[in-house]
Structure 1
Amino acid sequence: MKKALALLLAVCVIASLVACAGGKKESATEKSDTDTKKSGYQVSEDVPEGSVIDGVMTYIDGEDPVLKKTVAPWLDTCVLYEVNVRQYTEEGTFKAFEAHLDRLQDMGINTLWFMPIHPISETERKGTLGSYYAVSDYKGVNPEFGTTEDFQHLVDKAHEMGFKVILDWVANHTGWDSAWIKDHPDWYEHKDDGSIKSPYDWTDTAQLNYENYEMRAEMIRCMQYWIEDIGIDGFRCDHAIGVPANFWNAAVYKLKSINSDIMMLAETSATQGLTEYAFDTCYNDMLYGQALMTKGGVATSSIKDGMDVQPNYCGDSFPMNYLDNHDKNSYEGSIVGRYGDTYAPLLALSFLTPGMPLIYTANEEGYDHEIEFFEKDTVKWDDEPKYAPLIKALSKLKTGNSALASTNRSITYAEPSNSKLFVFTRNDGDNTVIYAANLGKEAIENVSFNLGVGTAKCVLHVNGDEVDTTVTEMTEKDFLGRDYAPYEFYILIAT
């Protein structure tokens, strides 16, 4: 490990973390080298600024390159796909999912996010199969999906094909069958009567206690296992805001000491505390909310609020732009019910606006179904998923034009003659991408706007169910007085 690990010191002395001799706390200087190696960290009352320790980071500074905020270069072209293994195939296994890798690769997907693959607690289980987020063993694999060897095979095959793989990580709570509850009850929060708490109304889970630094250290070691032993490429962190930022900072320090190019995605709106160091990307909840209202005819000007990268994104961190995920699908309705005909232009917008796009299981299908969360509910796949050609075209744009790099915040809004037409431009040097869409349910006529460039290639034109990827040369004149059908849109690249 890098020499900076020699700086690893604990932020405080906690009785559960130190050995006691004759009722007296053992100081860091009294701990032997053997004890230090065994525990993996030292306990000290004096924590110098800049120190990084298991479970907490006090200050982000110093010469150590791992302490510097970095974003892996591959994230600039990331097209993220959330995999619901249980529901993806009739078998619901890693092996069965492998058969879909070729199809996903052809669609332009390059990063796979697997919902939690760990064993699910049976105690207080919800439904027949339980929630993926009631984890009983952070280093185990749910036998419903296969074995650790099966998952390793899937990861290796995905890597050979050029995919990155990230895992869903549930750090806020465990399921009730976790061995931690029996072996380390002090690792959990307790009610006044001494029983362990559940967070919110998630009664199938037990709330972890982040004032316990021994628990924090073990949580980090579990995360390290998946990076170092299995070779995954990062984590999507469930309910990230429920866990102290200084834990995430320390965890990422340890993880990036193994692989500096991991992805860290936080399930929360961005905060400076999370993006200052630990997280590359956070949920763009504002854009999601504005996108939902588009179906009802929201003014296009309000969508801009969710497209401009907010100050809470520190350094090169960026938004994760989503229209759907497992929570939204299961509890707020299918994409058909939520978006209707607005889905295609909004999907394109999620690829073109600053940040990174997300596709959820069966979004390419246009799946008009709320997938069960606690029961078996296999996706019914068509031979030719409706939105696959559109996603393929958008993925090609995202991965092939630097103007659409995830870390590029450049965006310029045009002012068409009719405000119902929404037009914006992304630029990176000589690379320019233009989006022009009627996001309304009424046709608009005789609309003009300044293309901003002399000539351009139309690389994608969508009108209703027609997806045209024929490359067509266009000029300023082609956009003078043009009519637009409801939800019709163009994407152009300057030439």
Structure 2
Amino acid sequence: MSGFRRIVSVVCVLALASAVGACSGSKAKEISAESNVYYEIFVRSFADSNGDGIGDFNGITAKLDYLNDGKPAKGNDLGVDGIWLMPINESPSYHGYDVSDYEKVNPDYGTLEDLKKLTEEAHKRGIKVIMDLVVNHTSSQHPWFLDSAAGKDNRRNWYMWAEDQGREPTGSSAAGASEAWHQKNGSHYLGIFWDGMPDLNFDEPEVRKEMIRIGKFWLDHGIDGFRVDAAKHIYEDLATDKNKRSMDKNLAWWLEFRQAMQQSKPDVYIVGEVWDATARVGPYLKTMDSAFNFDLASTLIGAAHNENSSNLGFTLSRIHEFYNKSSDGKFVEAPFLSNHDQTRVMTALSNNLDHAKTAAAMLLTMPGNPFIYYGEELGMNGTKPDENIREPFPWKRTPGAPEETTWEPAVYRGDGSVSVEAEDESPGSLLNRYRMLISWRQMDAALRSNVIGEYKVDNTSVMVYIRSAGEEQRLVLHNLSGKPQTVPLAVGKSNPVKYANIVFTTDERAELANDELTLPPYTTVVLKP
């Protein structure tokens, strides 16, 4: 019996008897096929199929059973049902965020046929596949830009040239680059991130038309949606990213894009990188399904690290009221802990395994579509430069397995204890905790919903909130501390629902008696009325 199966057997005794019936590995009908959890993959680092040291599409296909084997009751896969592929287009860089051909895949990753096989096999397992779509800028090696720089009339206006627009080529980018304008052939072009990524001119109708055509091209090739990069920078004001005129134009473009994609695929999923304050994120949710919640990521990591709770149910419920108004009730939350641009979670948490498990528990009991960055479920370490937070994924204890990538030295590889092989065999591993938490979402519609609410407790060591789907309500409690905590749950004016049954727990020692819940250290419990 694997470590995960031993853990699940404990959970089943406490949970399924009261929630979804008797626990049995053969009763797949008792478990939903969906967890609405997405997994972000840097293709170059994930799994190599041909021995060249570079991850590829066929490598991911071979490892789909690790992500989701399509057999909900089996219990030894991660259980995600969505994959986000970081840039897969042809590009001169290792990361791919500077595209040189939007209709080709990076040959290091394989062929279009290999991608088609990946999407088909993923779909068989109930996994959706979305891809990074980088439309704010191209590579400086893209033929469009080379034509534009050469002054060819049919492409000149596809990029932003200061002299053509009567502008002074001065000013820094609101995106954070030191210089926004770069010299080429006696003129200056806009590139808000760096000179290798010239910004496209979306005031040019042909640019918008082409980007819509490209989006449809990928939907026709089996892609289920897009993560849209740098969504708020399509129309750039160099003085500030708070300019209303620029924002209105950004929103108009993304609405045009979304409506066009829905014509090809009505259920297309679009999630945006809008790294900004709540008030500025809200309007984008009328133009896309989700926007990553960067503020929430900081809150969750901070709560785990400091072992100090906040009234997250109240805060998020109020934010969601605003987001629902902004989106006509159609937005879906997109929580995460880290991504390819940020310090990895385990490093941010100073390698504290208990804190990493707590952060995972909060993330995977959040509303909407949680996103996991590859290796986060293992506790991979990493901090800037970017290559060190995008390191090869460790399948085995000892480096050198055929499927492991070697494109970049693994600075944070360690002693092999952070690997699928090692953690698969350890019941208390972070990997098995992620598997457990995702399985909860598979079994419980309330945890998969987009709804969160407030529940008041007077204990800063315990994070508490309500999750609900229709009439089904769950109370989620996380003991953030290393000490046992007792939480009174008596019905009162502020908390009118009586929660009387443990549905899920990460520790079988949790006890609910006489309207009090006793939580062992670093324990998460889900209750139902």
**Alignment TM-score, normalising by the size of structure 1:** 0.73
1:461 aligns with 2:522: no
Pick the aligned partner of 2:156 from 182, 185, 192: 185
Instruction: Give a deviation string over 1:434-490, Cα, whole Å, max 9, x none.
Output: 2112223x525554334843531342224xxxxx6x9x9x6442735x3542x2222
- The residue type equivalent to 2:457 in the other structure is E
Q: Answer 1 or 2: higher relative contact order, Cα 8 Å, separation at least 6.
A: 2
- The residue type equivalent to 2:133 in the other structure is W
Aligned position for 2:483? 443
Residues 248-263 of structure 1 correspond to what in structure 2 (within 5 A)? 248-263=254-269
Aligned position for 2:460? 419
Pick the aligned partner of 2:441 from 398, 401, 423: 398
1:264 aligns with 2:222: no
Deviation at 1:403, TM superposition (A): 1.7
Aligned position for 2:525? 490
Cα distance, 1:110–1:241 mapped onto 2, change above 3 Å = same
Cα distance, 1:450–1:345 mapped onto 2, change above 3 Å = farther
Deviation at 1:356, TM superposition (A): 1.8
Cα distance, 1:157–1:76 mapped onto 2, change above 3 Å = closer
Deviation at 1:164, TM superposition (A): 0.5
1:328 aligns with 2:359: no
- The residue type equivalent to 2:201 in the other structure is N
Cα distance, 1:81–1:273 mapped onto 2, change above 3 Å = same
Question: How far apart in 2 are the matches of 1:325 and 1:226?
Answer: 23
- The residue type equivalent to 1:461 in the other structure is T
Instruction: Give a deviation string over 1:319-378, Cα, whole Å, max 9, x none.
Output: 211001111147x98455487532212211122222221111111211123487458842
- Structure 2 gaps of 5+ residues are 1-31, 48-52, 69-76, 148-154, 163-168, 170-185, 235-249, 396-418, 492-496
- The residue type equivalent to 1:213 in the other structure is P
Aligned position for 1:92? 55
Question: How far apart in 2 are the matches of 1:439 and 1:484?
Answer: 10
Deviation at 1:76, TM superposition (A): 8.6
Question: How far apart in 2 are the matches of 1:361 and 1:240?
Answer: 23
- The residue type equivalent to 2:256 in the other structure is A
Question: How far apart in 1 are the matches of 2:488 and 2:91?
Answer: 56
Deviation at 1:103, TM superposition (A): 1.0
- The residue type equivalent to 1:490 in the other structure is V
Paired residue secondary structure (1:206) = coil
Cα distance, 1:285–1:306 mapped onto 2, change above 3 Å = farther
Paired residue secondary structure (1:265) = strand
Aligned position for 1:15? none
- The residue type equivalent to 1:353 in the other structure is M
Contact 1:287 1:306 in 2 (8 A): no
Contact 2:34 2:81 in 1 (8 A): no
Pick the aligned partner of 2:199 from 204, 207, 224: 207
- The residue type equivalent to 1:422 in the other structure is M
- The residue type equivalent to 1:380 in the other structure is P
Paired residue secondary structure (1:171) = coil
Residues 343-358 of structure 1 correspond to what in structure 2 (within 5 A)? 343-358=356-371
Contact 1:237 1:264 in 2 (8 A): yes
Residues matched between the structures, number? 397
Residues 37-116 of structure 1 correspond to what in structure 2 (within 5 A)? 77-89=35-47, 90-105=53-68, 106-116=77-87
- Structure 1 gaps of 5+ residues are 1-73, 122-128, 463-467
Question: How far apart in 2 are the matches of 1:298 and 1:374?
Answer: 30
Question: How far apart in 2 are the matches of 1:359 and 1:306?
Answer: 23
Aligned position for 2:117? 153
Question: How far apart in 2 are the matches of 1:172 and 1:339?
Answer: 38
Q: CA RMSD in A?
A: 2.9
Contact 1:435 1:492 in 2 (8 A): yes
Pick the aligned partner of 1:290 from 296, 299, 311: 299
Contact 1:236 1:265 in 2 (8 A): yes
**Alignment TM-score, normalising by the size of structure 2:** 0.69
Pick the aligned partner of 1:316 from 322, 327, 330: 330
Question: How far apart in 1 are the matches of 2:197 and 2:33?
Answer: 32
Instruction: Give a deviation string over 1:4-53, Cα, whole Å, max 9, x none.
Output: xxxxxxxxxxxxxxxxxxxxxxxxxxxxxxxxxxxxxxxxxxxxxxxxxx
**Identical-residue share of aligned pairs (%):** 26
